[in-house]
Structures are given as C-alpha cells and as structure tokens.
Chain A
Amino acid sequence: MNALDVAISALKAIVILVAVIQVVPVMIYVERKVAALIQDRPGPNRVGPLGLLQPVADAVKFLFKEDPIPLNTNRLLYTLAPFLSLLPACLVIAALPIADKAVLFGKEITIQIADLDVSLIYVLAIGSLGVYGILFGGWASNNKFSLIGALRSASQMVSYELPLGLATVGAVMVYGTYSLREMVVLQDGTLGGFLPNWGIFYQPLGFLIFLISSFAETNRLPFDLPETEAELVAGFHTEYGSMKFATFFMAEYMNLSTMAGMMTVLFFGGWHLPWITDQQVLDWVGSQNLLCLIQVVTYISKVAVFLFLYVLIRWTLPRFRFDQLLHLAWTNLIPLGLINVAVSAVLMYLMRGPA
C-alpha cells in the first residue's frame, strides 16, 4: 500500500462521511414538515422559502446557546457521552457499499470506505456500541428520569440486537457471504423474469424482523421508550442542552440512515436499479463514472424511501408500553427469527441441494 492509496482512502473516508452527515439537516426539515402535514398545521415556513433554511437556523441556535453543565453531575462522562454516541454512528458508515466503482486518474476507486470480509458483523458490532453514549449520558446526568431512560435504552438495545442479528442470518445463508459488497453484487438482474433479484423476495420474514428491530435499535417511535416525553421528560437527554443535545440528535439520524442503508443493501438490491442489470446501464451511458453516479443516486433514493417510512411511522403510531416492547422481542421476534433461519435452511437444501 503506497502513499497514493492511503491518500485516496483518507479522502474517500472524509467525502463519504461528510456526505452522509448531510442526512441530519435534511431529516430535521423532513421530520418537522411531515409532522406538520400529518397534524394539519403549516410547520416551519418562516426561514427561507418553504422554511427550507430552518435546519440552518436550528444549527446556529444550537451553536450559540449556553452550554450548561448541571450541578452534581459526573463531568467527565457527562461531556463524553454525546460523542460516545456519535462516534459509533460515524464509524459504521465505513462498511456500507454505496456504489460499485469509479475510475479517477486511471485508478479504480470503490465507493465504500472499507471493504471488509466481515462487514455485516462490523456494522452489527459497532452499531451495538451506540448504547454506551446513552447509558453513560443518562447515568452521569444525576437525574432519575435520565437514569430510567438510560436503563430502558440498554435493555431495549441488548434485547433487539438478537432479532436484528437473526434477521441477517437468513440473508447471509442466501448469499453465502458476510461481505455487504458481495451481497449487493449478487442481487443484480431479475428473479424468475418478472421480479427484481432482491433479497426481500428470498427473505420476506427476515426483512420484516429487521425492520421492526431497527426501530427499537435506533430508539424511534413506536419504540422510543428511552425518551418518552409523556413520562420521562426527555429521557436520557433531559439534562443536555445546546450542542451536546444536538450531538445526540445527529447520532440518532445517522443511525437511522445506517439502518436504512442496511435494509437497502441486504434486502433491496443496494445500488442496483430494479429489473435493469448494471451491464445494460453501462451499455446505455457508456461510461463507468456515469454508471457510478446513477448507482449512487439509486442507493440514496432507496435510503430516502426508508427514512421517509421512519418519519411516517413516528407520527402515526402510538408508543408501546415497556413490558410490551420486551415481550415483543423475546417471545415473538426471536422465535420468529429462529423459525426463519430453520425454514430457510430446509428450503435452500431442497432447492439447491447440499452445498
């Protein structure tokens, strides 16, 4: 590995990370606008045309607000917690395959920060570390509401990691690899001539379990028990203000985009257009870089659909009770996940024969 490769890797990491962070202002705007739409009110419409500059105004507000540290808190962990929750959210992005490859300066550059052979486990492993920010933040705040929110978050995220992992086992069995890039490559073309060759048609139940668990993993409604406004004030971030609070929010939105990206990659063909193979697109546009651009746009559109689904569900479904939430994970989703794995194994044996 020479200096040029290192430079390209570093540049790729910076560009992709900065690009993915842009999901935060967009999501702030979309969330507020869709909430307003559903609740039949105008929503943000003062700053800029259609209120489009509202996220900028919010960011400026957060930056200039006083940054208080409440009395009797554990200062070290209180300050560290927002970053502990943002760091894993940023690290996870490294494994997501956004597009195939571009050719720049005579070098092939894959649009993915790191192509690990265990990238699926990498995403699950690093994603599971996000709980520490919430846990330490809630504990260090020295506030009972925060502590209860943090404890809820811990038990919820540990519980829902299991169905999340089980849901991906089916996909791993179908594709025979742990590499997210290879999975996307295998989803090119059509299935039986009339369906896109996407994971959801092989693993419908796996996708459903993954979708439900992803809501709980990212603390979104209907599973946002760590922050329930109605009972815990604001849960683990009750005592946080200004940019520290905003950091928690950035982490939440980046986790959302990661989950949406994982669903796209595992079950919805990643960067592939439906029914059209990459080779056909390449023949039409005639340039690898244009194809790459189309792939990036396709990937972003698919992620956007899932993000919109998250927002829609947040503003339409009521919240679960905490025992219902854990009950759903341990007595419904985990057995369903195990059944999914067993049935997939038997079906694969019958259809493909012994491996």
Chain B
Amino acid sequence: MKEMIFALFSIITLLTGAGVVISRNVIYSAFNLVLCFFGLASLYLLWGATFISMVQILIYAGAIVVLFVFVVMLLNFEHSSERSQNFWIILGSGIGSWVLSLFLLRVLSNTLGASPYQSAAPTNLRTVSKLLFTQYLWPFEVLTIFMLALIIGIYLLGRPESEGTQS
C-alpha cells in the first residue's frame, strides 16, 4: 500500500518536474512546478515529516510560485519563450546539474539512516522545534541573520533612486 502511494507520488513529482523544463509556455511551467511541489509534499508526508510537508506547500506553492506567475503575467512572456539553442549552454547546464545531483545523492546517503524524523513520527513538530532550538540553535540563528541581511539588501536594490541619493 505504502509502496504504491510512494510510486504514484514519485511518478507525479518526476513527470511534473520534467514538465517544468519541457513546457514551452511559461505559465504551464509554473503550473507544473506547483504540482511538483505538491508531489514532493506528499512524499514528505509519507516519510512522516508533516511539518516540512506543510511548510513546503505554504512557502513554495503558496507564495513563491504565486510571485513567479505574477511576474510572468505582468511581463507577458508568452510570445518570447524561445529556447536557447547554444550548444555549450545546454552541455554546461547538463553537466552541472548531473554533478550537483551526484553530490546531493552522496550527502543524502550518508545522512539518511540518522534522520531525526524516523525515530519521532508521532510527536513530530515538537521534536523538530526542540532540535531547532537546542542542538541546531547556532546555525538557525546565523541563518536568520543571513535572511535579514538579504531582506535589507533587496530593499536597498529595490528602493526608488531619489531616496538613495539623499543618504
């Protein structure tokens, strides 16, 4: 039963993931991306990671892709979706993503056995919060400061020119 559900959602994730790359229409790509995130969230659920699964939908499908679609609709990319025919770009990105996936597989296969989720399926959220605020407190805080710096940087880049000249 569980294997069947796993297979179903894996196929959905892979197919829609391929759809993101293959679709000629940018809106279809975005729609496929939403479905892909849904498939991923379902896989997380199967793994027992309810929190990550919900956050995946809330942040990626619910906010980030909405902004993608927003920008695509505003700029109307529909008629300008010619693909790059440059051989070297295709080759380079192909090799790059292959090396990256190998690297990720290596890292994952090292840590998969010792996942904090597997031992703590029933009280998942509590376990995650405890880990986040005890064992991983330092990386967590560093990340938040990093995010804050990003937000300030984006504000500096995006604010109107007239304000920038005064300071």
Task: Spell out A's residues near B (CB within 8 Å).
Answer: 74, 77, 116-118, 121-122, 124-126, 128-129, 131-132, 135-136, 139, 147, 150-151, 154-155, 157-158, 161, 178
Report the minimal beta-carbon distance from A155 to chain B, rounded to whole angstroms: 7
Stretch from B11-19, B56-64, B82-90, B143-151 at the A interface = B56-64
Check B57 against A125 for contact (C-beta < 8 Å): yes
Docked Cα-Cα span, A157 to B137, in Å, equals 32
Check A161 against B63 for contact (C-beta < 8 Å): yes
Among B31, B58, B123, contact of A117 (Cβ-Cβ < 8 Å): B123
User: Residue on A with the closest CB to B129?
Assistant: A178
Docked Cα-Cα span, A122 to B122, in Å, equals 17
Check A155 against B70 for contact (C-beta < 8 Å): yes
Check B58 against A158 for contact (C-beta < 8 Å): no
A interface majority secondary structure? helix
Check A128 against B62 for contact (C-beta < 8 Å): yes
Check A158 against B63 for contact (C-beta < 8 Å): yes
Check A121 against B54 for contact (C-beta < 8 Å): yes
User: Residue on A with the closest CB to B61?
Assistant: A129
Q: How many residues of B are in contact with the other chain, CB < 8 A?
A: 22
Check A147 against B73 for contact (C-beta < 8 Å): yes
Docked Cα-Cα span, A341 to B136, in Å, equals 23
Given known A-B contacts A128-B58, A158-B63, A118 and B51 have beta carbons under 8 A apart: yes
Q: Using Cβ atoms and an 8 Å threshold, which residues of chain A touch B58?
A: 121, 124-125, 128
User: Residue on A with the closest CB to B73?
Assistant: A139
What 7 additional pairs, Cβ within 8 angstroms, besides A128-B58, A135-B66? A116-B50, A125-B54, A128-B61, A131-B66, A135-B73, A158-B67, A178-B125
Q: Using Cβ atoms and an 8 Å threshold, which residues of chain B touch A128?
A: 57-58, 61-63, 66
Check B61 against A117 for contact (C-beta < 8 Å): no
**Residue B36 lies at the interface, judged by CB distance under 8 Å to chain A:** no
**Residue B46 lies at the interface, judged by CB distance under 8 Å to chain A:** no
Check B73 against A150 for contact (C-beta < 8 Å): yes
B interface majority secondary structure? helix
Among B54, B63, B70, contact of A151 (Cβ-Cβ < 8 Å): B70
**Residue B124 lies at the interface, judged by CB distance under 8 Å to chain A:** yes
Docked Cα-Cα span, A136 to B74, in Å, equals 13
Q: Using Cβ atoms and an 8 Å threshold, which residues of chain A touch B57?
A: 125-126, 128-129
Check B66 against A118 for contact (C-beta < 8 Å): no
Q: Using Cβ atoms and an 8 Å threshold, which residues of chain B touch A139?
A: 27, 69, 73
Docked Cα-Cα span, A129 to B69, in Å, equals 13
Q: Using Cβ atoms and an 8 Å threshold, which residues of chain A touch B34?
A: 129, 132
Q: Using Cβ atoms and an 8 Å threshold, which residues of chain B touch A117?
A: 50, 122-125
**Residue B55 lies at the interface, judged by CB distance under 8 Å to chain A:** yes
Task: Please indicate which of the listed interface residues A77, A124, A129 has the most CB atoms of chain B within 10 Å of its own CB.
Answer: A129
Task: Please indicate which of the listed interface residues B51, B54, B63, B125 has the most CB atoms of chain A within 10 Å of its own CB.
Answer: B54
Q: Using Cβ atoms and an 8 Å threshold, which residues of chain A touch B67?
A: 154, 158
Report the minimal beta-carbon distance from A163 to chain B, rounded to whole angstroms: 14
Check B74 against A151 for contact (C-beta < 8 Å): yes
Residues in B73-103 with C-beta less than 8 Å from chain A: 73-74
User: Residue on B with the closest CB to A123?
Assistant: B54
Docked Cα-Cα span, A126 to B67, in Å, equals 17
Check A135 against B125 for contact (C-beta < 8 Å): no
User: Residue on A with the closest CB to B72?
Assistant: A139
Check A136 against B27 for contact (C-beta < 8 Å): yes
Check B54 against A158 for contact (C-beta < 8 Å): no
Check B70 against A118 for contact (C-beta < 8 Å): no
User: Residue on B with the closest CB to A77?
Assistant: B27
Docked Cα-Cα span, A277 to B62, in Å, equals 38
Q: Using Cβ atoms and an 8 Å threshold, which residues of chain B touch A77?
A: 27, 31
Docked Cα-Cα span, A128 to B34, in Å, equals 12
27 contacts between A and B (CB under 8 A): A74-B27, A116-B50, A117-B122, A118-B124, A125-B54, A125-B58, A125-B61, A128-B58, A128-B61, A128-B63, A131-B62, A132-B31, A132-B34, A135-B69, A135-B70, A136-B27, A136-B31, A136-B69, A147-B73, A150-B73, A151-B73, A154-B67, A154-B69, A157-B66, A158-B67, A158-B70, A178-B125
Docked Cα-Cα span, A178 to B69, in Å, equals 30
Q: Using Cβ atoms and an 8 Å threshold, which residues of chain A touch B123?
A: 117
Given known A-B contacts A77-B27, A117-B123, A178-B125, A154 and B66 have beta carbons under 8 A apart: yes
Q: Using Cβ atoms and an 8 Å threshold, which residues of chain B touch A132?
A: 31, 34, 66, 69
Check B125 against A118 for contact (C-beta < 8 Å): yes
Given known A-B contacts A135-B69, A135-B73, A129 and B54 have beta carbons under 8 A apart: no
Docked Cα-Cα span, A135 to B62, in Å, equals 12
Q: Using Cβ atoms and an 8 Å threshold, which residues of chain A touch B63?
A: 128, 158, 161
